[in-house]
Amino acid sequence: MDPYPKTIVRLIDLLSDLPGIGRKSATRMAFYILHASRQYGDNLSDAIKAVKENLRLCKKCFNLSDDELCPICRSPKRDPHILCVVEDPNDLIAIEQTGAFHGLYHVLHGSIDPLQGMGPEKLKIEELFERLRHEPVSEIILATNPNASGTATALYLQKRLQPFNIKLTRLAQGIPVGGDIEFIDTQTLSASLRQRTEF
């Protein structure tokens, strides 16, 4: 028999569904919420509700957004000639945090993976072509993940993008900053040799 009252068991059950949260952590979180102020509890439940009710996809790049257009698409400082295509909003955030990219994005919301039933029609690919008909894009960075489905997606896009006559690039693969050559796997090391740059 569960020693806790049903109300708190319900909260523990829901919290332990979160990624990376085990039953023990969920119990600690539930008791933290129980002992916190009423205001904290209200704010937490409001924030969860707002995420579900107010957050939507930017109608241009499909990034997560509070408004019709996300802040990146709204910004006049971004270069509309260069488009970075990513699989997920988290990839966009990672690239954005480098501060090294000043163009616009397009979020596909997944990658082509026939074994998981993910065909190109389930991604925001037609929406990408639609954008290219109206926007002055001269370069597309295919920043999908360098794994099987990410590479399949990049190859698919490369084929479909040929008629547009746009420069296509892919993120370089190689040795991480602070890395040690003798410990790099062979595939990464050979990719970094192929993609070597002038010094």
**Residue 63 touching Zn ion (CB under 5 A):** yes
Closer Cβ to Zn ion, 59 or 194, answer by number:
59
Query: Which residue from 30, 70, 84, 108 is in contact with Zn ion, where contact means CB under 5 A?
Result: 70
Closer Cβ to Zn ion, 60 or 153, answer by number:
60
**Residue 60 touching Zn ion (CB under 5 A):** yes
Size of the site for Zn ion (CB under 5 A): 6
Query: Which residue from 26, 30, 73, 92 is in contact with Zn ion, where contact means CB under 5 A?
Result: 73
| Part in contact with Zn ion (CB under 5 A); list of ranges 2-10, 18-26, 72-80, 144-152 | 72-80
**Residue 58 touching Zn ion (CB under 5 A):** yes
* Maximal CA-CA distance, the chain: 68
Closer Cβ to Zn ion, 69 or 168, answer by number:
69
Closer Cβ to Zn ion, 58 or 142, answer by number:
58
Q: How far is the CB of 109 from Zn ion (least distance, A)?
A: 13
Q: Are strands 103-107 and 167-170 parallel, antiparallel or unpaired?
A: unpaired
Q: How far is the CB of 43 from Zn ion (least distance, A)?
A: 28
**Residue 61 touching Zn ion (CB under 5 A):** yes
What is the secondary structure of the chain as a DSSP string? --SS-HHHHHHHHHHHTSTT--HHHHHHHHHHHHHS-HHHHHHHHHHHHHHHHH-EE-TTT--EESSSS-HHHH-TTSEEEEEEEESSHHHHHHHHHHT---EEEEE-SS--BGGGTB-GGGTTHHHHHHHHHHS---EEEE---SSHHHHHHHHHHHHHHGGG--EEEE----PPTT--GGGS-HHHHHHHHHT----
| Part in contact with Zn ion (CB under 5 A); list of ranges 57-65, 92-100, 129-137, 146-154 | 57-65
Q: What does the binding site for Zn ion look like in residue numbers (CB under 5 A)?
A: 58, 60-61, 63, 70, 73
